[in-house]
Every structure is written in structure tokens, then in C-alpha cells.
A = this chain, B = another copy of it.
Amino acid sequence: MAIEDRRQRERLARRRLITETARTLAEREGWNAVTTRRLSTEIEYSQPVLYKHFGSMEDIVEAVALEGFGELTEALRAARRDSPTPADQVARVAAAFSDFAAGNTALYDAMFTRSTRLHFGGTDETPTPLIEAFAELREAVAAVAGTRDVDTLTEVVWAALHGLVELDRNGRLRPGYAAERLQLLVEQIRGSTP
């Protein structure tokens, strides 16, 4: 069985090679540059090899997106951990979210605009990385929610953060005021929390 193990190891390694190459290529030249041909030459294999690992180009983006949600979770968790008081968590986590988006443009794109199939609720199971990232924000929000419904409030904050990122990215907001917007948003959420 050792031989089968080695094969599976190699398969996994190549799968990771594909997603990592796709990601770095996207980060460097944008997702439009990530074509099956370009990606295959970049990994020094022929095109059909991609399809041994993924059903379609979209599946590759989805794999990258999932990886991104894992990293986002880590970033939010670290921000929460480093907060001096629970009430500060929202501000820290919000900033971490914003920084993550700014520092991983293409990755964020894969996570939030490029992958249509990563759903939340519904019948089919939600991918755990998605749940975990959301849960981190929820914890931060819960500390200042007061009488407000935590789930709803978290969704609103989540949406507001995403909206800010996306509109800012597309030049739909005044440049140079990102920090002010983020601060104002956090103030609205914190309300009169100590």
C-alpha cells in the first residue's frame, strides 16, 4: 500500500501546485490572466492535467476561495485575540477584514465575487471555512450587541464590510477616506457600549 500512498501524496501535491499557482498568478496579473492554457504552462503540465484534479476552471477558483476563507478566519481570530477589551473586538476585527481584502486583492475576489457556488444556508452543507470566518466576526459582534439580535447584526456588519471593500475597490467611494468610513461603521455598531 506504500505505493498507493506515495501516489496520493503526489496527487495532493500537484493539486496544491495548481491552486497555489492559480492564486499567485491571479494576484500578480489578475484573474483574467488565469486561463487553462496559461495555468497549465505555468505548472509545466498540459491542460488536461488540470481536469484530472478539478471539474472546471470554476472549481479551481472555488478551491482558492476556500483556502482564502481559512486565512481570513485566522486573521480575524488573531485580531480578536489581540483586543484589549471585548468591546474593542469589533473595531479590530473590522480593521483586520479590511486589511485582509487590501492585502489579498485577487484572493478576496475569488472568495466574494468570483465564486458563485459557495453558499451559506440552505439544504446542502455549508463549507466549514465559511462558517468559521463568519463565527469569528459573530463573536466580536456579540460582545457589543446588547439587546440587538446577534445573527442579524453580524450579517449586517459582514455585508457592510464587504460593501465597503467592493465599492472602494471599484472607485465608487472617495479615495483616502477608508479609515473614516470604517471608524464610523464601527461606532454605529458599538453604539453606547462602554
Q: Is A163 an interface residue (CB 8 A)?
A: yes
Question: Per-residue 0/1 for A126-156: is the Cβ within 8 Å of any B Cβ (1 yes, 0 no)?
Answer: 0000100000000000000000110111011
Residue of chain B at shortest CB distance from A188: B188
Other-chain contact of A181, B155, B166, B188 (Cβ < 8 Å):
B155
Minimum C-beta distance from A167 to chain B (A): 5
Which chain A residues in 147-194 approach chain B with CB under 8 Å? 148-149, 151-153, 155-156, 158-164, 166-168, 170-175, 177, 180-181, 184-185, 188-189, 191
Minimum C-beta distance from A38 to chain B (A): 21
Q: Are B113 and A171 in contact (CB under 8 A)?
A: no
Q: Are B156 and A120 in contact (CB under 8 A)?
A: no
Q: Is A119 an interface residue (CB 8 A)?
A: yes
Minimum C-beta distance from A172 to chain B (A): 5
Q: Is A55 an interface residue (CB 8 A)?
A: no
Q: Are B174 and A120 in contact (CB under 8 A)?
A: yes
Considering residues A130, A168, A170, A175, which has the most beta carbons from chain B within 10 angstroms of its beta carbon?
A170
Minimum C-beta distance from A144 to chain B (A): 12
Q: Are B151 and A174 in contact (CB under 8 A)?
A: yes
Q: How far is the CA of A161 from the CA of B121 in the complex (A)?
A: 20
